[in-house]
Every structure is written in C-alpha cells, then in structure tokens.
Structure 1
Amino acid sequence: MFVDRLSQAQRQALLDLAVIMAGIDNDVSAEELQYLEELASNYNLTLDLENHGANSIDDLISIVDSKQAKVIVLQELIKLSYKDGHFGPEEQQKVFQIAQKLGLNDPELLLAIERWVRQGFDWLHEGEQLLG
C-alpha cells in the first residue's frame, strides 16, 4: 500500500483531508465511512468526523511536504471520491483545489492519477466477477 510510504503525521493529515473530502457533498456514504475507519484502524490514527474543521486545509497540506507524499495523498483522495460510485463535480473541484495547494497544477498528472485509481477499481471489479 502506498500509504505505508507516508510518515505518521502525513497519514493523519491524509485522514483529516479525507474526512473533509467525504463531507464535501454533505453525505458521507457507508463506503466512504468504511474507508475512513479502515485507514484510521490500519495506521492507528485518530478519526474525528465531528471536528474536521479544526485543522485548515492549508495546515494539513503543509505536512505533506514531498512530491511522493503529495501524489499519494491525491491518489487516496481520488480513491475515496470513487467509493460512493462516482467522482462527482464537488469532489473533483475539491481535489483540484487541494492539488493546487499542494503545488501539483499539472492537468496531465491529475488525469494520470485519476486514471490510475479508476484502473485499480476496474481491476478489483473484474477480479470479483471472475471469482463470483
């Protein structure tokens, strides 16, 4: 898992950003909640669904300080956005805003990360079909 490459502080920042992302459409789906809970559990992080505004996005992003960490965080946020079945306009806008704040303004890079995530979901779905 690429999240393993992040420091513990970067993982917590990722989780806090993911909570913000999950709530962007004012409806945290069961799949999104499961993702958040698994991330928190797998890495011994604090999941706070109520107080997600305590840290500003800028504060959280400042913790993500290498290009590798930035790409991993964006990949995970896009993956979370796909959890409810679609990457909606509000989610796309928030991911784009976070990418800009991270200094990753290259549209081709963003498309490549999204394609990477989408292919991962397709791969899992295809495997489920073969096993089912």
Structure 2
Amino acid sequence: MKALTVRQPWAGAIAHQSKRIENRTWQLPGKYWGARVLIHASAQRDRFAVVYGEHLDVYSAIVAVATITGCHYSEDGTCCGPWGEERVYHWTLADVTALPTPVPATGALGFWTPTEDVLAAALRELTDQEVTP
C-alpha cells in the first residue's frame, strides 16, 4: 500500500471533514486509479489555507486511509464544491476512514512506500476501529 503526503489542514479535512478531492498540479498516474492509499499529514502546513475544525494540527503522521476513485482537470474549480481549486487536477477520494490515533511517519513528495512498521501500525488502527464499538 502506498502513502500520499498532504499538507495540513487539508489532510485533516480529508480525514475528518467532507473534503473528498485532492488538488494536484499533475495528473493521477493510471496505476493509482482505484488504489487504497494512506493519507499522510506533512510536516509543514499550507500557509495559505484557512480551514476551521479539530484534527488539523497533526503533522508527520498517517491520519487516514482512502480510495482514489478518479481524476479530472478543472478549469474553474467549481465542479468539486468548496474544496476544488481552479486549473488543477482533482483526484477524487472515497471510502475515507480516519485513524483513531495518527501513526507517526516521515513522508515524501508524491506517492511513497511506508516502512513495514508504519504500515502495520496504520492497519492495526483500522482493525481496532472496526472491532471497537
């Protein structure tokens, strides 16, 4: 399973709010369509972002798991509600599950492969969440 680093507060908005797209300047590689990926909150915040809510102050950690269901280019950004930016690719996300406890991890640009320990810890968080009422 690959991981994708997203700056805060966007990673938190994916995990805990209704953000179901990721804005990128590059088109999603075809091999990631339909892929389940870890959402990693980067070490740095997007200094231009204004999003309010809890869970937006976690950095350098896996915060959720999501499925990338598609990708489209948007000239004006209006197709994806308030989360869409103009003149970028919108990667659509579904089946987003926030981890109850973020898993510390050092990320990287683009898609990256988490260590076995990080992946195991993230999957344990998902399993614990499914078993715990």
Could you tell me the TM-score, scaled by structure 1's length? Answer: 0.32
Could you tell me the TM-score, scaled by structure 2's length? Answer: 0.31
| Greater strand fraction, Structure 1 or Structure 2 | 2
